[in-house]
């Protein structure tokens, strides 16, 4: 890919499309190479065109900027100031989004800690109630209360380990890094 960036208006000849074989005809290796080379050229041209379109949308070509400045003095400065303001706005929005994600993560951690405390208190009450019932002579009911409380704790622990317990962790598109310098 040592070709220069192709821009619209270049006087390069279009590559000749190779004849495609019919589906029933076996493809010989030379023909397959020609087709592969053609497809590779088409994809490369499409990529170069997309790259050119991207840069063309960000800043007009230099010739257009010069003509614009000649027609309206100070136009380049206004265009660049506008681009700077747009970048500042994007940076501010990115910062606000990162702050929102941080607050959401803190709220999730607080929620899970509170849920753990509540579950622990309920389990202690259930186990204490089971012991009290056993002491009053109803050993089967008391044992059932204790075992059910322990089973709920065990299931909550296992569920938390297998599903992540609802923890919010950065995904591949949000690795926690920031684009800010």
Indicate the range of 46-50, 99-103, 139-143, 176-180 predicted with least confidence.
Answer: 176-180
Reported as a single tens digit per residue, the pLDDT across 69-96 is 788 788 778 877 888 888 888 889 888 8
Residue 174 has pLDDT above 60, yes or no: no
Residue 87: half-sphere exposure toward Cβ, Cα within 13 Å: 9
Q: For the whole model, what pTM was predicted? A: 0.40
Contacts of residue 104, defined as CB under 8 A and 6 or more positions apart, other chains included, come to 168
């Amino acid at each position: 890919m040592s070709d220069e960036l192709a821009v619209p208006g270049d006087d390069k000849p279009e590559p000749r499309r190779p004849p495609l074989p019919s589906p029933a005809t076996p493809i010989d290796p030379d023909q397959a190479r020609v087709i592969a080379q053609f497809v590779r050229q088409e994809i490369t041209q499409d990529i170069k065109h997309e790259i050119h379109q991207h840069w063309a949308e960000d800043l007009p070509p230099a010739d257009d900027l010069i003509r614009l400045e000649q027609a309206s003095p100070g136009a380049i400065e206004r265009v660049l100031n506008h681009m700077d303001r747009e970048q500042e706005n994007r940076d501010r929005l990115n910062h606000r989004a990162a702050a929102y994600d941080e607050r959401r993560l803190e709220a999730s951690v607080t929620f899970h800690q509170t849920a753990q405390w509540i579950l622990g208190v309920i389990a202690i009450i259930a186990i204490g109630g089971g012991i009290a019932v056993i002491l009053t002579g109803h050993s089967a009911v008391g044992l059932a209360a204790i075992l059910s409380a322990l089973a709920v704790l065990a299931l909550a622990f296992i569920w938390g380990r297998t599903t992540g317990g609802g923890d919010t962790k950065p995904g591949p598109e949000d690795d926690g890094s920031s684009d800010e310098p």
